[in-house]
């Protein structure tokens, strides 16, 4: 289900993420998010705590870090090509 909500940008460039969306993604006060700009527009992506991510993917921290390192190396190889 897509949720669309208009938000206002303050004079400091800040926006408020609507409560319904914060709740859906577990975003709490003080949490960090990525802001990504690409050809499709602007996206706000929650940064998951490592323990939460570990539970979601059913991997140990060491295995996740190994997986992420391999993924980074593949991305660098693609960028060089």
Minimal CA–CA distance to 3: which of 14, 18, 15, 16? 18
What is the spatial distance between Cα 51 and Cα 57, in angstroms, rounded to a whole number?
10
What is the spatial distance between Cα 17 and Cα 44, in angstroms, rounded to a whole number?
9
Reported as a single tens digit per residue, the pLDDT across 8-50 is 999 999 999 999 999 988 899 999 899 999 898 999 998 877 7
Q: Clarify whether residues 15 and 38 are in a common domain.
A: yes
Mean pLDDT of the region 53-79: 83
What is the spatial distance between Cα 61 and Cα 34, in angstroms, rounded to a whole number?
21
Q: Clarify whether residues 56 and 24 are in a common domain.
A: no
| Domain hosting residue 40, numbered range | 1-46
Query: pTM to 2 decimals?
Result: 0.59
Task: Please say whether the beta carbons of 42 and 33 come within 8 A.
Answer: no
Lowest mean pLDDT of 16-20, 36-40, 56-60, 75-79, name the range: 56-60
Q: Clarify whether residues 41 and 53 are in a common domain.
A: no
Q: Clarify whether residues 26 and 53 are in a common domain.
A: no
Q: Clarify whether residues 34 and 4 are in a common domain.
A: yes
Q: Clarify whether residues 4 and 32 are in a common domain.
A: yes
If one counts the domains in the chain, the total is 2
The predicted structure's pLDDT at residue 57: 77
Q: Clarify whether residues 53 and 34 are in a common domain.
A: no
């Amino acid at each position: 289900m897509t949720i669309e909500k208009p938000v206002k940008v303050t004079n400091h460039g800040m926006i408020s993420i609507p409560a319904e969306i914060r709740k859906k993604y577990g975003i709490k006060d003080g949490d960090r998010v990525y802001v990504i700009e690409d050809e499709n527009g602007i996206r706000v992506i929650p940064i998951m705590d490592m323990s939460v991510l570990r539970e979601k993917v059913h991997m140990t921290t060491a295995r996740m870090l190994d997986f992420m390192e391999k993924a980074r190396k593949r991305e660098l190889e693609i960028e060089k090509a």
